[in-house]
Amino acid sequence: MKKVFMDHASTTKVDDEVLDAMLPYFSKYFGNPSSIHLFGREAHDAVDLSRRKVADLLNAKEDEIIFTAGGTEADNIAIKGVAYKHKEKRGSKGPHIITSEIEHPAVLQTCKHLEEEGFEVTYVPVDEYGIVKLDELETALSENTFLITIMFANNEIGTIEPMEEIGKIAKENNILFHTDAVQAIGKTPIDVKKLHIDLLALSSHKMYGPKGVGALYVRKGVQLKPIVHGGGHEKGLRSSTLNVPGIIGLGKACELAKERMQKDMKYLRSLRDKLIKNVLQIEESYLNGHPEKRLVNNAHFRFVGVEGEAMLLAMDAKGIATSTGSACSSKKLQASHVLAAIGFDPEYAHGSIRLSIGRETTEEDVMYVCESLSEVVEKLRQMSPLWNR
């Protein structure tokens, strides 16, 4: 059976060049980068080179990069780190964070946790395309606001948020700006200096690197209180022996992303547009998210009268991997909080499916997916009580 992976927003295949770069660091150069002998120094030098490659992709400096165990951990270290530091300096008088309603659970749950600890959090709404309402963000600002955390691009509907405007608002009001760039990294150019971003979380497995490794950009001068205590690695912000092969893989993935950015974006955009054009030929099908301000690899649709999970299973039977929500939450049968935030009622939300393409997706894959989806939707509608044309 033909197999097509249309779920690159959940994870990606490790690039062959990334794997080749990693392999020697499992057995040949296995030293602990904290050791001062030759074995340690070899690992340490390689980690430093990776740090530079991650920094280069963001227009940051290498001493502004902390390696983590993934995107979730990077978000936690950033948000809790800023929050606890703020509380230490200013006491506990109504400290306030602004975020959005459509964040990934890595940010939403961290904010909910901080609410339980006495922090105030405003969840700013989004418009029908998933774009954060900037007027409401500005209205939410108070003298107690110390952090704005808004994702760079949404993991479900692919909408890219107005980073430049949010960065400007944060800077003008002397508030720290954190962004979860896990989905955006490698798919759109990111310049942390130009966008006034103080903290940025990224994850390697969404950009053709290995799982279980990520990074946090911390602008020079931003102070965080550590939430992981131990031997003091990564400037005391993420204690634990470094995952050297993973870090080498992330560095290589960043180097490739930088080299290939324009080529990848052009290729993915043209495939994505072909996918969207063909899928929208299906009667009563609609594109979710913003038509232009969206990730080059994301297409998210809703189909009237069809149930998303049934679509996913029927597509799976044809060898096609898709998703009805973010991979992390798609096993729960709750309607997505993102689709609820853009105004979908549960019936609409449950009739949605995400197709996300990647470097290895071909035009032939796209056409196979479009034909299969058309058949699946038609068949499911024949059985659907919600479809009575």
Considering only 150, 163, 170, 182, the residue that binds ligand PLP (CB under 6 A) is 182
Q: Which pair of structure tokens corresponds to residue 174?
A: 């002397």
Q: Annotated catalytic, 370?
A: no
Residues present in the chain in total: 389
Residues 135-174 that bind ligand PLP (CB under 6 A): 151, 155
66 binds ligand PLP (CB under 6 A): no
Distance of closest approach, residue 384 Cβ to ligand PLP, in angstroms: 30
Kindly indicate which of the ranges 157-165, 180-188, 221-229, 376-384 contains the residues binding ligand PLP, using the contact rule CB under 6 A: 180-188
246 binds ligand PLP (CB under 6 A): no
- Alpha-carbon distance of 151 to 297, in angstroms, equals 17
- Alpha-carbon distance of 100 to 68, in angstroms, equals 24
356 binds ligand PLP (CB under 6 A): no
Distance of closest approach, residue 186 Cβ to ligand PLP, in angstroms: 13
Q: Do residues 51 and 65 make contact, with C-beta atoms less than 8 angstroms apart?
A: yes
CA torsion sign, 152 to 156 to 158 to 160?
A: negative
Closest CA to 134 of 150, 145, 146, 121: 150
- Alpha-carbon distance of 316 to 187, in angstroms, equals 26
Cβ closest to ligand PLP, residue 72 vs residue 243: 72
72 binds ligand PLP (CB under 6 A): yes
Distance from chain centroid for Cα 147: 19
Q: Do residues 160 and 184 make contact, with C-beta atoms less than 8 angstroms apart?
A: yes
Here's the x/- map for ligand PLP, 314-343, by CB under 6 A: it reads as: ------------xxx---------------
Distance of closest approach, residue 206 Cβ to ligand PLP, in angstroms: 7
Tell me the residue nearest to ligand PLP as measured from the CB.
Answer: 71
Residue 362: partners with Cβ closer than 8 Å, 6 or more residues away: none
Distance of closest approach, residue 102 Cβ to ligand PLP, in angstroms: 10
Cβ closest to ligand PLP, residue 11 vs residue 59: 11
72: helix, coil or strand? helix
Distance of closest approach, residue 197 Cβ to ligand PLP, in angstroms: 15
- Alpha-carbon distance of 114 to 82, in angstroms, equals 11
Cβ closest to ligand PLP, residue 101 vs residue 138: 101
Kindly state the greatest CA–CA separation across the chain.
74
183 binds ligand PLP (CB under 6 A): yes
70 binds ligand PLP (CB under 6 A): yes
Q: Which residues pair with 301 in a beta bridge?
A: 287, 353
Considering only 149, 203, 298, 361, the residue that binds ligand PLP (CB under 6 A) is 203
Distance of closest approach, residue 213 Cβ to ligand PLP, in angstroms: 8
Considering only 161, 180, 234, 307, the residue that binds ligand PLP (CB under 6 A) is 180
Q: Do residues 33 and 44 make contact, with C-beta atoms less than 8 angstroms apart?
A: yes
# of chain residues touching ligand PLP (CB under 6 A): 15
Q: Which residues pair with 66 in a beta bridge?
A: 216
Residues designated as active site: 328
